[in-house]
Structure 1
Amino acid sequence: MTSPPQHTRHAARPLGIAACIALVMGNMIGTGVFLLPAALAPFGWNAVAGWAITISGALALAWVIARLTVHLPQAKGPPAMIAAAFGPVAGFAIGWTYWVSIVTANTTIAVATVANLTPLIPALGQTPLIGVGAALILLWGLTLLNLRGAQVAGSLQLVTLILKLVPMVVVVVLILLALCRSTAVVAPFPSEGFALPAVTASAALTLWALLGFESASAAADKVADPARTIPRATMIGTAATGAIYLLVCSGIALLLPMAKAQSASPFAAFVSHYWAPGPASLIALFASISCLGALNGWTLLQGEVPLAMARNGELPAWLAMTDARGTPVRALIVSSIFASLLLIANSLQGLVAIFTAMALLSTSATLWLYLACAAAALRFRVALPAAGLGLIYALWTLWGAGISVSGLSLVLMLAGLPLYWWTRRSTSLSSPAQLPEDTAG
């Protein structure tokens, strides 16, 4: 295997605990939370149970990934952990699929950012080409920002996290005031108790909103003191995000009349109902900031994942090239080109259609990573109770995502294998002395 260029070996590690928590929470709090109350409103209290299951599953998987990070300190991200457990082919397959999920997630988030701006700029939603053009501008704008280095991207992530929490805090305060003043009418608990089909359906809906708790581990090569920082950031970020989601989404769904809760902007409807229409008009702006922060965080990862795979000899070596700051310039640009092609290929569809298709594909592709991480933890006998729960949860949600979507993500996983074998063969030919090691996988 040929060695990467010298200046790629000493990448800077500018992400501390605050930046890592911001990366985890910023990547999790993005597009889903502002629309989820509308989708969950018909399920009532069953949605609360659904949140409890989803948050528990996310925490179990987050703990598994955190402990694997400590157990395998030399592994640069979850795909490398899976390779250590099941071999290089498995590591590549999951890493490739995760890269696909990040690229599709960025497409999804860019579209959602534009969609949230349509109340302020109606033309963005009236003509598909204008909306797609705006999404492309956002994609490349954040790519250019990340090309300036992880420290700049991490600073923006911290700022956008603070801003995106503003509407969450407003809703929490309004919920507490409404309950204390007895001005809220809480939806009654169903006399028949929880209904398993409704709980399952609501839990499946919440999955997209909780993707991203692995973000600190995926950016391990940019994290200062990763063995301590990544587990702490992962668990703190996941627990805090889960608590915010549970309180905010459940509060809106249970305290608003059904017709208002199912509106296109349930956050704005809640603020308008319990406060005033004026402040509610700002929700679209804060929702866009939330999406922008998530797009920034995922853009950082869309460079780090292929960078780590290229350094492991699983992708062409030229993707391992970085600049003096350790920024994976080529990997970032290639990822953004792929995301742009996805947007252009779907440019004749409306924003909602593009968002739905890309969100489902990204969710299903990410689930393979969670499933493999849980299996790797069982293989190494790390975090055993959580690993067992995480494996069951990942299998359940992968099945719940639907056969067609999960099947498509599996096809995309297999589609990357020819590139892997070509890369390994090229590497073996360029380093004959290492041929036995390189062809072992």
Structure 2
Amino acid sequence: MVGSGVFLIPAQLAPYGWTGLVAWGVAIPGALLIAYILSELAAARPGATGAVAIVGEGLGPLPGLIIGWSYWVAVWAVNAIIALTAVRYLARFVPELTATPLATALGATALVWALTALNLGGARGAGRFQVATTLLKLLPLIAVVLILIGLAFGSSGQFSASPHTPFSGGSLSTALTLTFFPLVGFECASLAAERVRDPARNILRATLFGTALTGAFYFVISNGIVFALPEATVAAADAPVAMFVEIFWGRGAGLIIAAFAAIAAIGCLNGWVLMQGELPLGMARAGLLPRWFAHTTGRDASARSVLLASGLASLLILSGTIPGMENVLNFMLRLTTASTVWLYAGACVAALRLGIARVPAAIGLVFCAWVLAGAGVEAVVLSIALMLTAVPLYWLRPREQAA
């Protein structure tokens, strides 16, 4: 979960001021609610290959396929965002990386393929890399918290140095969608259930505790940065966390934080590259996708799905170099969130139909509808269009299984 989102979102939320703070107060409990539903589904179906397979069981193979495909689209789309974020932080050391849109795109594409090569070596190696980067990426977050503690208990009064946009109910839905984006990832343990030892116990622990801890970090760090500095300063920052530390601790500290922020984004990218292979693999083994997606290498890596997704992420990154397409980050954040929320909504409906955690599922469904509303008509419509591209695969599925 801790990756590019927390290092990117302060700049996106800064224009919303107090509305952003309230949005965090809604997004984190909403994520915990969905996390609980996914954990209960995994506990009730410990033999399932993952959450998508359980959704397919509850809703039928075609809805299960469409929802799982939507999530897969969100995975490789978010990889494009994460890779671009990593390059922006690395550019604090090598400014040439962001000298032109093409240079930025090429650097991000290179990162995607470097992590793709690592994951083609198997889930175990990718998992070890993930553990190492997880330990390192907590350091910049701790540094921000320490600065915020000093500001809160000091006498400098920076928190009230400049006015911030007052709360606006009309902007809450959009701010909610943006705050929900960094929280996406809490479902990964339930998606790769067949890789998890004792899923009924460990998925619950990883999902709920991980979401709660990460949400608390995000709330403090994002709001602390936004309210400790002038709104316009944060909104204009390419690397808001590094900028924040540099202002209070100096350029050297800012560069150190930028390095760890880049590590965090790269580690997050590694985890999502793993998921872009694991998700289609689990769907294929559950009979929701053609058997072509079930192929694995000698190291049990889902090479076909990983290569396909990395190729699509690369195309998305390179599309940012097209004139008129430079400022699509905010839209991509909303599109990725919308594409992901369809899985959460499907899990809620499946829980209702299977008689699992029905009351939380009903509340969770309302929350999902709220997040989708905040994504905007364009993002929701495009997410639906991308979902429907999976329909031809449904008709291929029986032929492949028969073969």
Q: Is the TM-score greater than 0.5?
A: yes
In 2, the alpha carbon distance for the partners of 1:224 and 1:350 equals 48
Deviation, 1:227, is 1.6
Would you say the 8 A contact 1:323–1:329 is kept in 2? yes
AA aligned opposite 1:417:
V
Would you say the 8 A contact 1:76–1:308 is kept in 2? yes
Q: For 1:282, what is the secondary structure of its paired residue? A: helix
In 2, the alpha carbon distance for the partners of 1:375 and 1:318 equals 29
In 1, the alpha carbon distance for the partners of 2:152 and 2:76 equals 42
Would you say the 8 A contact 2:93–2:255 is kept in 1? no
- Going from structure 1 to structure 2, the CA distance change for 1:35 and 1:187 (only over 3 Å counts) comes to farther
Would you say the 8 A contact 1:129–1:348 is kept in 2? no
Residues 222-231 or 197-206, more deviating: 197-206
- Residue of structure 1 equivalent to 2:119: 146
- Going from structure 1 to structure 2, the CA distance change for 1:179 and 1:130 (only over 3 Å counts) comes to closer
Say whether residues 1:94 and 2:95 are aligned partners: no
Give the superposed CA RMSD: 2.5
- Residue of structure 2 equivalent to 1:68: 41
Would you say the 8 A contact 1:66–1:230 is kept in 2? yes
- Residue of structure 1 equivalent to 2:154: 181
In 1, the alpha carbon distance for the partners of 2:150 and 2:180 equals 29
- Going from structure 1 to structure 2, the CA distance change for 1:59 and 1:187 (only over 3 Å counts) comes to farther
- Going from structure 1 to structure 2, the CA distance change for 1:133 and 1:105 (only over 3 Å counts) comes to same
Residues 29-38 or 81-90, more deviating: 29-38
Would you say the 8 A contact 1:57–1:389 is kept in 2? no
- Going from structure 1 to structure 2, the CA distance change for 1:209 and 1:41 (only over 3 Å counts) comes to same
Deviation, 1:272, is 3.0
Q: Deviations over 1:301-345 (max 9, x none)?
A: 001011112222332313212234422222222222232333344
2:288 aligned to which of 305, 314, 336: 314
Q: For 2:197, what is the secondary structure of its paired residue? A: coil
1:104 aligned to which of 58, 74, 77: 77
Deviation, 1:346, is 4.5
Over the matched positions of the two proteins, sequence identity in percent amounts to: 42
Q: Deviations over 1:273-306 (max 9, x none)?
A: 3332321233322221121011000011001011
Deviation, 1:125, is 1.7
In 1, the alpha carbon distance for the partners of 2:80 and 2:58 equals 31
Say whether residues 1:373 and 2:319 are aligned partners: no
For 1:2-401, what aligned pairs fall within 5 Å after superposition?
28-187=1-160, 194-264=167-237, 265-348=239-322, 353=327, 355-401=329-375
Would you say the 8 A contact 1:94–1:368 is kept in 2? yes
- Residue of structure 2 equivalent to 1:14: none
AA aligned opposite 1:71:
A
AA aligned opposite 1:395:
A
AA aligned opposite 1:158:
V
Q: Deviations over 1:369-389 (max 9, x none)?
A: 111111111222322332122
Q: Deviations over 1:158-178 (max 9, x none)?
A: 111121111110111111122
- Going from structure 1 to structure 2, the CA distance change for 1:344 and 1:175 (only over 3 Å counts) comes to closer
Return the index of the structure with the highest Cα Rg: 1
Gaps (5+ residues) in structure 1? 1-27, 431-441
TM-score by length of structure 1 reads 0.85
In 1, the alpha carbon distance for the partners of 2:150 and 2:321 equals 44
In 2, the alpha carbon distance for the partners of 1:405 and 1:281 equals 35
Would you say the 8 A contact 2:158–2:228 is kept in 1? yes
Q: Deviations over 1:13-38 (max 9, x none)?
A: xxxxxxxxxxxxxxx22222123223
Deviation, 1:186, is 2.8
Q: Deviations over 1:54-99 (max 9, x none)?
A: 0011110011111110011122122111111011111111111111
In 2, the alpha carbon distance for the partners of 1:126 and 1:197 equals 37
Say whether residues 1:408 and 2:398 are aligned partners: no
In 1, the alpha carbon distance for the partners of 2:153 and 2:199 equals 43
Q: For 2:297, what is the secondary structure of its paired residue? A: coil
Q: For 1:153, what is the secondary structure of its paired residue? A: helix
In 1, the alpha carbon distance for the partners of 2:255 and 2:50 equals 40
- Going from structure 1 to structure 2, the CA distance change for 1:305 and 1:403 (only over 3 Å counts) comes to same
Would you say the 8 A contact 1:132–1:343 is kept in 2? yes
Residues 364-373 or 279-288, more deviating: 279-288
Deviation, 1:142, is 0.5
Residues 157-166 or 57-66, more deviating: 157-166
Residues 248-257 or 338-347, more deviating: 338-347
In 2, the alpha carbon distance for the partners of 1:350 and 1:223 equals 44
- Going from structure 1 to structure 2, the CA distance change for 1:137 and 1:351 (only over 3 Å counts) comes to farther
In 1, the alpha carbon distance for the partners of 2:350 and 2:333 equals 26
- Going from structure 1 to structure 2, the CA distance change for 1:127 and 1:218 (only over 3 Å counts) comes to same
TM-score by length of structure 2 reads 0.92
- Residue of structure 2 equivalent to 1:439: none
AA aligned opposite 2:313:
A
Residues 375-384 or 391-400, more deviating: 375-384
In 1, the alpha carbon distance for the partners of 2:362 and 2:188 equals 21
